[in-house]
């Protein structure tokens, strides 16, 4: 008898490939992980598309302790002012509503969604 598998709504959403563009995001959570290569700290943010046909699609963004400069626009989009020599609370972005630019990427030969730029949420006037 063949084995069976059940796919959750999260599994289905995670499989969605977004067209490149800006999306409204909610930063849902942050987790600390270690890089598989050298054990350095990674701060991994779980973001979700908030509206439109891709609502609730999860997107992952990570900042490495070895390359913190790649996270500056993310922190600034969350309303933080980045200053040299001033430590940042890596949990501050959680709960923030921002815009993120998604670009098509690839991981181990499979296409995926890459968050490559961030900005403060534009407000309707």
Structural domain includes residue 6: no
Q: pLDDT tens for residues 23-33?
A: 999 999 999 99
Summarize pLDDT for 102-123 with one digit per residue, the tens.
999 988 899 999 999 999 997 6
pLDDT of 28-56, one tens digit each?
999 999 988 888 899 999 999 999 999 99
pLDDT band at 125 (very low <50, low <70, confident <90, very high): very low
Has residue 101 been placed in a domain?
yes
Please give the Cα distance from 13 to 114 (Å, whole number).
15
Angle at 26 between CA 24 and CA 28, to 5 degrees: 155
DSSP 123: P
Residue 2 lies in a domain: no
Residue 4 lies in a domain: no
Domain tally, the chain:
1
CATH of the domain at 54: 2.40.50
In a domain, 42, yes or no: yes
**Residue labelled with tokens 């815009």:** 99
In a domain, 109, yes or no: yes
**Is 125 inside a domain boundary?**
no
Alpha helices in the chain (DSSP H): 9-14, 72-77
Domain that holds residue 56: 17-120
**Per the domain annotation, does 7 fall within a domain?**
no
Q: For residue 49, with 0-12 CB atoms within 10 Å meaning exposed, 13-18 middle and 19 or more buried, which class applies?
A: buried
Query: φ and ψ at 69, to 5 degrees?
Result: -60, -25
């Amino acid at each position: 008898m063949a084995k069976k598998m059940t796919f959750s709504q999260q599994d289905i959403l995670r499989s969605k490939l977004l067209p490149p563009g800006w999306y409204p995001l909610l930063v849902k959570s942050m987790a600390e992980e270690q890089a598989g290569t050298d054990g350095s700290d990674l701060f991994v943010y779980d973001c979700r598309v908030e509206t439109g046909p891709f609502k609730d699609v999860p997107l992952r963004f990570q900042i490495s302790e070895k390359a913190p400069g790649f996270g500056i626009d993310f922190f600034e989009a969350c309303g933080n002012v980045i200053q040299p020599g001033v430590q940042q609370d890596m949990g501050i972005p959680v709960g923030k509503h921002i815009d993120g630019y998604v670009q098509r990427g690839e991981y181990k030969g499979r296409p995926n969604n890459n968050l490559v730029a961030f900005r403060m949420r534009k407000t309707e006037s």
